[in-house]
Amino acid sequence: MRKAMKWICLGTLVVLAGCSMFKEPKNPPAALVDFKQTMSIKTVWTESVGSSGDFMFSPVYAADSVITASANGTLVRIDNATGRTLWKVDADLPLTAGVGADDTTVAVAGDKGMVFAYDMAGKLRWKVQASSEILSSPVVGDGQVVVRSMDNHIAAYDALTGKRNWVVERTLPTLILRSAIGMAIFDHNLYVGLPGGKLVAISLASGSVRWEASVGEPKGATELERVADVSGIPVIVGTDVCASAYQGKVSCFDVKTGVLRWGKSLSTYAGVSVDERFVFAVDDKGTVNAFSRSAGLSEWKNDKLAFRRLSAPISFGQALVVGDFNGYIHFLSREDGSFLARTSTDGAAIVAPPIVAGSHVIFQTTAGDIVAIAID
């Protein structure tokens, strides 16, 4: 039990409440393998925003810009084409979660559950107090800012006024991962991963639950063994919504009904990436997996990055891209998982999920570097 607890505490994306992050792994990370680089990549621009501290800050792409934040309260908007800083503001409060945005509103979460909303010029519109600490990035859409706090309350606020429109309260399991479980907005619905392995679809207009599905079923003799929290951000492509769970599965569901299309046992703390053909996931040992999107069949695996504490992967052109604990960014073939290219950043861990921003893929390191990379 003590060994298992120690192992879970070392995760950089997810840790049990009370455990500290960034402890040395029980298994040594795999050494980087040599390979012939067959894809030409280039760093287009870099910017520094500040350290993530013990939290996870992921960038967001909106209005042709990359917007992100840091633990010290800095919020920055960067022109995606040039890397030029458009504005930088100070929230005057430490921040605990990444940024959510659409083309008109930027939202971020602060210390002790404070929620801030800004316009696209960086001017503060409003701030409100949520029910408890927030580790997940807010999401913005349909004129609302939605946050999920650590007490498992999901609340929607009017993007212009900050008035709370609705709240959904869910019971917490006995033991949960202290994690930044993500949310996604699609077709006027909110898709939320929850502790206990549940994926829930909620109407943005009313806050009513449209459907609920299981990504991971808690099982085992101890509470620790029964942890099966959803990890990462649900991803919607076409008629599918796909998600993953720690000590659970990678699963895809019908986006409208929640009916299970397929599920495969796989424990991951990082979440999934989906494109028109594949569902990608990194398991908790660092093996990168590709499944067919249509039926969940295993297409390939790459175990050469074992225990390098990989970020969530992302599909980008002909590559699958993933970051690691030493700030390396790896480009793998979407077709067979072979290495195509590799580049380095500032040497700090990459734990936040990368994003695609136009012709760039964007990574944020824990030390605060924002890096935009393009394929030549």
Residue-range definition of the domain harbouring residue 68: 2-375
What CATH number corresponds to the domain at position 299?
A: 2.130.10.10
117-134: average pLDDT: 97
What is the DSSP secondary-structure string of 290-319? EEETTT--EEEEE-TTTTS-----EEETTE
pLDDT at position 18: 35
Name the one residue in this structure whose structure tokens are 């909110």. Answer: 190
Count of domains forming the chain: 1
| Residue burial 182-205, b: 16+ Cβ < 10 Å; e: rest | bbbbbeebbbbbbbbbbbbbbebe
Q: Is the pLDDT of residue 163 over 50?
A: yes
Of 6-10, 220-224, 371-375, the range with the lowest mean pLDDT is 6-10
| 220, burial (CB in 10 Å: exposed 0-12, middle 13-18, buried 19+) | exposed
Please write the tens of the pLDDT for every residue from 133-142: 999 999 999 9
Which residue has better confidence, 171 or 45? Answer: 45
Confidence of residue 170 (pLDDT cuts 50, 70, 90): confident
CA 292 and chain centroid, separation: 22
- Token reading at 225: 């063994």
Confidence of residue 229 (pLDDT cuts 50, 70, 90): confident
63-92: average pLDDT: 97
- Token reading at 367: 């030390």
